[in-house]
Amino acid sequence: MGRTLWPLFVVVGLLRSLALPGAPSPVTGAIRGRVDVRAAAAPPEGRPDPGGLGMAAPREPLDRRRSVVYLETAPRAAFEVNEERRVRMTQQHERFVPHVLAIVAGTWVDFPNNDRTYHNVFSLSKAKDFNLGRYAAGKSKAVRFERPGIVRVFCDIHSHMSAFILVFAHRYFAVTDDEGRYRLDGIPPGSYTVLVWNETVRGDPPRRTVTIGESGGDVDADFSIR
Partner 1 sequence: MCMWRRLTALLIVICAPAAARAQRLPEGPLTAARGTVTVGGDITVTAGSRDDIAFFNYTDYEHNALRMVRLSLSGMWRPATRLAFLTELRSEDAQRVIPYALYVRVRPWSARAFDIQAGRVPPVFGAFARRSYGADNPLIGYPLAYQYLTSIRPDAVPFTADDLLAMRARGWRANYPVGVTAPGPGVPLVSAYRWDTGVQARATSARVEGAIAVTMGTLSNPRVDDDNRGRQVSGRVAWKPVVGLVLGASASRGQFLTATLENGLAALTTRQVHAQRALGLDAEYSRDYWIVRGEVIDSRWNLPDLSAPHIDAPLGARSAFVETRYRFTPRLFAAARADRLTFSSIRGQRLFAGQPTPWDAPVTRVEAGGGIYLQRNLTLRAVVQRNWRDAGRVKNRTFVSGQLSYWF
Query: Which residues in this chain contact partner 1 in the complex, by CB under 8 A?
Result: 40, 42-43, 45-55, 58, 116-118, 122-124, 129-131, 133-137, 152, 154, 159-160, 162, 202
Q: How far is the CB of 153 from partner 1 (least distance, A)?
A: 11
Q: Are 174 and 183 in contact (CB under 8 A)?
A: yes
Beta carbon nearer to partner 1, 44 or 189? 44
Q: How far is the CB of 115 from partner 1 (least distance, A)?
A: 9
Q: How far is the CB of 119 from partner 1 (least distance, A)?
A: 10
> What residues contact residue 210 under an 8 Å CB cut-off, 6+ apart?
31, 191, 192, 193, 194, 219, 221
Beta carbon nearer to partner 1, 32 or 134? 134
Beta carbon nearer to partner 1, 64 or 170? 64
Beta carbon nearer to partner 1, 12 or 40? 40
Q: How far is the CB of 203 from partner 1 (least distance, A)?
A: 8
**Whole-angstrom Cα distance, residue 160 to residue 94?**
8
126-133, long-range: CB < 8 A, 24+ apart: 127/151, 127/167, 128/165, 128/167, 131/156
> What residues contact residue 186 under an 8 Å CB cut-off, 6+ apart?
25, 28, 30
Q: How far is the CB of 49 from partner 1 (least distance, A)?
A: 7
Task: Name the nearest CA neighbour of 23 among 75, 74, 95, 99.
Answer: 75
Beta carbon nearer to partner 1, 61 or 213? 61
